[in-house]
Structure 1
Amino acid sequence: MDQENAGTDFSASSSVTEGHATVVVRGEVDMSTADAMVRAATGDGVRSATIDLRGVTFFDSAAIHALIRLAERFPDGLAVIPSPQVHRVLDISGLSTQPWLVPGEPG
């Protein structure tokens, strides 16, 4: 499944295998695109998800809220791979120690 918003630099592509969604997000995740990221991760029968944000260049408070919603939906089954920009935003917001955040190089 692909979710794209016209006029923005955003895409979210997902694939589901045995109840696990893998979502690759690129571009800007903001108020106009955060829900599309959530929808890409929460299809029918999905019980866990990996959200690959390494291609994300902008991440705002709506995007943070979207990640929190995903963490609530998949309390033991969420992994988030951040880009340096996303890691910096999560660090500033106090979320860089969440168990769903995959360790990597901070921005």
Structure 2
Amino acid sequence: MSSRRPRNRRPAPAATARRPGRRHRETATHLRVRVMPYGDRLLLRVSGEIDIDTAPLLRSALDTALDHGACRVDVDMRGVTFCDSTVLHVLLHARTKAADGRVELALAPGDRLRRILAITNMAHLFAPLALPVRP
């Protein structure tokens, strides 16, 4: 008896569809960050969903804004429709980077982010940003 495999086995068919349970990364459609300079400040308007897939986009935008040379960076997150705990890591990183660069960082959280900040007792770490009420 031979220990070789029979040669009549067919190769497995190539997978053409995505595997169930895997998320497709469409970062651009789930998170939008607009940067608007005004005077010696920068305003970042963040809208959409912040999760493990989109957090790097937000972090990159905040890093770029903090390296821009503005004396203050305002972050309007009232348009965020979903966020999980990954947003805390991004915001704490931005807070540390702002402190190191002597840049003021102010935050206008939406309802969802405000709740996460309250639950984790981190709201006091960010300067509040007073913006007009959206229509």
User: If the length of structure 1 is used for normalisation, what is the TM-score?
Assistant: 0.78
1:69 partnered with 2:66: no
Deviations 1:16-71 (CA, angstroms, capped at 9, x unpaired): 34553211010111111112112222324234311110001111111110000110
Amino acid at match of 2:81: T
Amino acid at match of 1:82: P
The corresponding residue for 2:69 is: 46
Amino acid at match of 1:91: A
1:94 partnered with 2:132: no
Residue pair 1:19, 1:45 contacting (<8 A) in 2 also: no
In structure 1, distance between residues paired with 2:58 and 2:51: 10
**Larger helix percent:** 2
Residue pair 2:114, 2:123 contacting (<8 A) in 1 also: yes
Q: Percentage identity across aligned positions?
A: 27
Distance 1:11 1:99, change over 3 A: closer
Cα root mean square deviation, aligned: 2.3
User: If the length of structure 2 is used for normalisation, what is the TM-score?
Assistant: 0.63
Amino acid at match of 2:58: M
Distance 1:19 1:41, change over 3 A: farther
In structure 1, distance between residues paired with 2:35 and 2:98: 16
In structure 1, distance between residues paired with 2:38 and 2:98: 16
Give unpaired runs (5+ residues) of structure 2.
1-25
Residue pair 2:98, 2:105 contacting (<8 A) in 1 also: yes
Could you list the runs of 4 or more consecutive aligned residues of structure 1 that deviate by over 6 angstroms after TM superposition?
Answer: none
In structure 1, distance between residues paired with 2:78 and 2:113: 8
Residue pair 2:44, 2:76 contacting (<8 A) in 1 also: yes
Residue pair 1:80, 1:102 contacting (<8 A) in 2 also: yes
Distance 1:19 1:72, change over 3 A: farther
Give unpaired runs (5+ residues) of structure 1.
none
The corresponding residue for 1:36 is: 57
